[in-house]
Amino acid sequence: MSKYDGFFKLIDIYNTAPTPKEIQPFDMPTLLGELLINRMGGVAYEALNQNGTFKGYPKEFKTALENAHLANSIKTEIFKKHLKYLSGVFANTSFKYAFLKGAFLSTKVYKDGLRTSNDIDVLLLQQDITACQQLLLQNGFVQGKYDKQSGIIPATRQEIIHSRMNFGETIPFVKIIDNNCLEVDLNFSLDFKAKNNNDTISLMLSDAQRVEVDGEYEFYTLSLPHFLIHLCCHLYKEATTYDWVASNRDLTLYKFCDIYMFLKQYGNAEYFDVLEQEICKLNLYKECCYTFRNTSLIYPRMFEISGFKDFLARIEPQDKAFLKQIYWPKRKQIFEYDMDFEDWIFCRNKRAQLRLIGQ
């Protein structure tokens, strides 16, 4: 058992919500802070509210989570309007694409109020980046960032080059629609740098599937096995890259919740067989093993999903040293930490715990 079991139960809407005495090792203010930092306030509200289990929790605690759930619902409504608009922009593209993460999760997996999305991620082949950039620019987007006081701030050429070289994605494209900022991220790599995985992305995009939302609009996303594999690659990239670790953005728990919620809806023995075949074909064992193994520590009820336990055993490499390693792309250095993964999640000074082991 983990000392964080009560907290993990609180962010699992399929579990019995914990009583205040079970929430260890957090006091109420710290607990609330962890939920909000990890973007899990809406999920915790649902978990506690669905069975009337707020008894014993302070009224202020319930109100804060209720407000988080309401804010999520409002933000999701805006996100879906933006998604509908962007689907129209991409309706007649000459290149293949797939909307990732929140576009599918917010419309097909989560109920409103449980998850928010700050942007819309698009997967492309590297050679199609220019065509997509032109499409967005023609439709009024600007490559840069949005600030409430200053408005849209265009990115410098140096920032644009740095992002493509070090993170395998472009500086976001932004546009104001009905006083709200729509941000679009173009992704062309599965890891922290733009290395040559064009063949992998080409295979994924060749199997992209059309998704219809409420009979109003549609867009392309990845097939169910490839969608989950991409989530694993994205989670692994951020969890094991020094830049994210240094800024404490590496293990935000909503990313693990995405994996769990997706598998609760689509996971079964047949699905895991197909998923294993695709992981083998793409040689993405480390990325997927890291994600599924650590997600199951947070959500042990994953082992109740038919076929998951055997699947996880089959994809685990013999050498598991990578599970506790962090890579710094800029300096090409490899670090290691020595603590349980659950403690690592809540460690707020991770850099001090890293030990350089190689270059």
222-276 tens-digit pLDDT: 999 999 999 999 999 999 999 999 999 999 999 999 999 999 999 999 999 999 9
Closest CA to 257 of 220, 295, 219: 295
Tell me how far apart the alpha carbons of residues 345 and 343 are, in angstroms, rounded to a whole number. Answer: 5
Tell me whether residue 158 is exposed, middle or buried, using C-beta atoms within 10 angstroms of its C-beta: 0 to 12, 13 to 18, 19 or more: exposed
Q: Note the pTM of the prediction, 2 decimals.
A: 0.93
Q: Is the pLDDT of residue 196 over 70?
A: no
Query: CATH number of the domain at 75-222, please?
Result: 3.30.460
Find residue 211's DSSP bridge partners: 219
- Domain borders along the chain are 1-57, 75-222, 224-359
Residues in the chain: 359
Which are the contacts of 188, defined by CB distance < 8 A and separation ≥ 6? 123, 124, 125, 126, 129, 168, 169, 170, 194, 201
Burial of 316 (0-12, 13-18, 19+ CB in 10 A): middle
| pLDDT (tens digit per residue) in 153-165 | 887 777 766 666 6
pLDDT tens digit sequence for 101-143: 999 999 999 999 999 998 999 999 989 999 999 999 999 999 9
**Sheet (strand 151-154) strand order:** 98-99, 120-123, 180-187, 173-177, 142-147, 151-154
The model's confidence at residue 24, banded by pLDDT at 50, 70 and 90, is: confident
